[in-house]
Homo-oligomer: A and B are copies of this chain.
């Protein structure tokens, strides 16, 4: 193997595939990045047990030469060194030369690195995916949907299925649901799909989607998505991102979303967020971080929190509009902060059905989003 690669292209590719490099050294070859050449350019591959990423650097683009292949081949090089080395090389191009004992020479300007590589034949094969169920979504919308739901997945393995985000597609509507059984996030968006394509109960590990989110571009380019029984594949121009799916049946969350409400209020999102932030300041060591809200018909919401050792905080914000009964309710401030921080609407509507029932938070300007928080029982 002997080639020349554009350094910044290589840096970018390593950075993206690194998201899938295993940090555990139980399978040493997975701590490496596979580099292989082919007629279209070179492909970098990394994989751990959950995700695999392939990044292809084309031979050229818009008349700029990126890769010059003198002799085809493939090699696995240690990811943790490769990243730093390529980034710090002095010249615009990097020469990679691999001899028959996997000893690899990386040359750039007057710098030369000799690295012990591993046989690319030993690198695991990526899943074979038949492209049956394919649909497309804009990259920035997909990123937004991930951001607006992933925070609600479970971080414990008590119910492994809840560590994933459940996807369902019907018609041109793609829905994400995440819940850790204390709060729930639901987000819907329009995608480009053939009408006969429909699925439900596709559960993707939350971690996989967060890694995907780091790689996807923040623009309106289309991402092709292929769903199979146990894998999902995301395709961009240069990247193939594979994630395993979680096995099992996702709980029917529609059962727990109340359809009626007793108190409906509208608040300014930022004002409410800042008041909750202040109320949670004293409780930062506390396990539950409970804040109390009281809604009175006079149009004021009082938000308070007490930490026996440190002190007490009370805040008031204006209620923009109110329908229904007065109410006092307590909840975990963290759940509310997570929710309000991913909302980009100026106002939020909150629908309560009593102090002990889950309540709904929704932006006033979009029906495609719904958040649910279970209140906390307090004895005061």
- Is residue A337 contacting chain B, with contact meaning CB distance below 8 A? no
Protomer copies: 2
A85 to B305, CA, bound (A): 13
Contact: A316 with B110, CB < 8 Å? Answer: yes
Chain B residues lying within 8 Å of A284, measured Cβ to Cβ, are 84
Interface size on A, residues (CB 8 A): 30
State how many angstroms separate the Cβ of A28 from the closest Cβ of chain B.
Answer: 11
- Is residue A81 contacting chain B, with contact meaning CB distance below 8 A? yes
- Is residue A114 contacting chain B, with contact meaning CB distance below 8 A? yes
Known contacts A88-B281, A274-B90, A277-B88; is-contact A311 B111 (Cβ 8 Å): no
- Is residue A226 contacting chain B, with contact meaning CB distance below 8 A? no
Contact: B81 with A115, CB < 8 Å? Answer: no
A274 to B85, CA, bound (A): 11
A115 to B306, CA, bound (A): 10
Name A113-132 residues within 8 Å CB distance of B. 113-116
Q: CB-CB contacts of A78-103 with B at 8 A, as 1s and 0s?
A: 10010011001110000000000000
Contact: B116 with A310, CB < 8 Å? Answer: yes
Contact: A114 with B81, CB < 8 Å? Answer: no
Known contacts A85-B281, A88-B278; is-contact A110 B315 (Cβ 8 Å): yes
Contact: A278 with B315, CB < 8 Å? Answer: no
- Name the CB-closest residue of B to A315: B111
Chain B residues lying within 8 Å of A317, measured Cβ to Cβ, are 110
Chain B residues lying within 8 Å of A278, measured Cβ to Cβ, are 85, 88-89, 111, 113
15 contacts between A and B (CB under 8 A): A81-B281, A81-B311, A84-B281, A84-B284, A88-B281, A110-B317, A111-B278, A111-B314, A111-B315, A112-B314, A113-B282, A114-B313, A115-B310, A116-B309, A116-B311
